[in-house]
Structure 1
């Protein structure tokens, strides 16, 4: 890949722009900033004005990394801060960005992964996305994960809910349904839990709905836990802190059938990919929400207050 020579992006000057962050491909800090500049038009609508958790690796992917969800010292002003009331009643400061400069400022601080909340800061209690993370046992092939994603898609589709697919850049797939901001976190969580439990009970040889490594052998965990207040999921077009600099990449359902791995796309693939039609373009037109009928269909209608 051709390496970036600039040291300033969106008005943010990088220190040590030639510092290598991904050894395998020689990806530098400037290369990473250029990536977010390249994907900003598609990525920012999913990232901006959401609370973030960051995976920071100041010495690069092979160095020590840490997960940061609260605000801290050292970030530039382009990384914004929001104080919220947490589940235990305490108050804590979180981070968010609202433009490309914020993403670049995150890169400047060694951020290799951006993880997003399922709601935006202006309506924090009303999520706008439902996410199922399909997390396979290590012994399964990617074909099994692909089929699981299609199964989730078809089951949700039968209830009237449209979905898109995201290759996580790790080993799984996220099946995502955009939501209108009508209902609050407890209802979304109850539906996600009920859906996963119902699917796992009907196909217990293939799926489980609990985060148990011991019980996962030969099965896929339908991770519904992303759908509660404070949980996060990898942002579309975020790099992953893994060898080769894979990128969490939106794909179409037709394209998914042809792919062989959840880390099929890497930093150097993005320029060509962005010249192709946006696989999630139609999602902007969808208007959908979780209904009483959907809750009843998964046996969760008694778990939440009235809509």
Structure 2
């Protein structure tokens, strides 16, 4: 296990008094749930050397002084001089934290097959005046549409005000096909209920409605990883939920770096335990 004690008392979330050492302990506590969703796939990370109140920057390529358990990975279709980054174990996650990584975002394809996504992510991004119950209803709508298409659906908080509905795929269809499917789903929702949904990014059109963001489903795009913290006040995390959790009133603020390990310890089961086993082919 790498040494992460250097500057362990550095405050990353000052209002919540969450330190670098606290974040490393959080990473260890959630690793067995987080591991299947972050290992051996390209990452984009948000580094915040001075915590959430300081400057931050996204990074997807190796940097000078990068620690040994953070790996370089070649993208066959990318610039050979600019490899991607990845981790394969807990040591890698701890070394990301040591490098002031507060958020971990993942590709929808594994390193073993970068041209064939193994999941679809539908990001539900509400306008400022949209209530939480409406976001939950939208997630159920996405789930039902995916179910009718023959795909399983899982849900997690985004760590902000929205939800991600994620469908595991057999890695057979290419990026263009997966993006087209996600785009069609978003457009269908916006067409069927234009008072509630929009599928275009323009914030001006989002007033009172939920953006069904399908653009996570294109090559090099990423989505925040399950259990990743968010570099925002409150220290919330992107929390996988069961559909019954959602129906029973779970809200994003329920899940933070401070309380998630204890919450997971008392759960009867992992709501995403069957994620990979339910992978299905993209409908024709």
TM-score, structure 1 as length reference? 0.88
Alignment of 1:218-237 (within 5 A): 218-237=208-227
Question: Which blocks of at least 5 consecutive residues in structure 1 are unaligned?
Answer: 1-9, 293-307
Equivalence map 1:79-98=2 (5 Å): 79-86=70-77, 92-98=82-88
Per-residue deviation, residues 149-179 of structure 1 (Å, max 9, x unmatched): 0111111112221101011111100000011
2:22 to 28, 31, 38: 31
Q: How many positions carry a matched residue from both structures?
A: 282
Work out whether residues 248 and 263 of structure 1, in 8 Å CA contact, stay in contact via their aligned partners in 2. no
SS in 2 for 1:281: coil
Paired residue for 1:282? 274
Q: How does 1:60-71 map to 2 (within 5 A)?
A: 60-71=51-62
Post-superposition offset of 1:247: 0.9
Please say if residues 51 and 96 of structure 1, whose CA atoms lie closer than 8 Å, have aligned partners that are also in contact: yes
Unaligned runs of 5+ in 2: none
SS, match of residue 207 in structure 2: coil
Q: How does 1:173-252 map to 2 (within 5 A)?
A: 173-252=163-242
Moved over 6 A (4+): none
State which structure, 1 or 2, has the greater radius of gyration over its C-alpha atoms.
1
2:134 corresponds to 1:144: yes
C-alpha contact 2:152 2:279 (8 A) present in aligned 1: no
- Which of 33, 48, 51 pairs up with 1:57? 48
Deviations 1:186-243 (A, max 9, x none): 1101111111111111111111111111111111110000000000000001111011
Could you tell me how far apart the structure 1 residues matched to 2:136 and 2:180 are? 25
2:122 — aligned with what? 132
Contact in 2 for aligned 1:168/1:263 (Cα 8 Å): no
Verify: 1:168 aligned to 2:147, yes or no.
Answer: no
Aligned-pair Cα RMSD in Å: 1.4
Contact between 1:142 and 1:260, CA under 8 Å: does it hold in 2?
A: no
Contact 1:164 / 1:177 at 8 angstroms: preserved in 2?
yes
SS at structure 1 position matched to 2:244: helix
Assess if the C-alpha contact under 8 Å between 1:48 and 1:97 holds in 2: yes
Q: Within 2, Cα distance between the matches of 1:137 and 1:85? A: 38
- For residues 86-125 of structure 1, the C-alpha deviation after alignment (integer angstroms, 9 at most, x for no partner) is 56x7752211100001111110111000000000101111
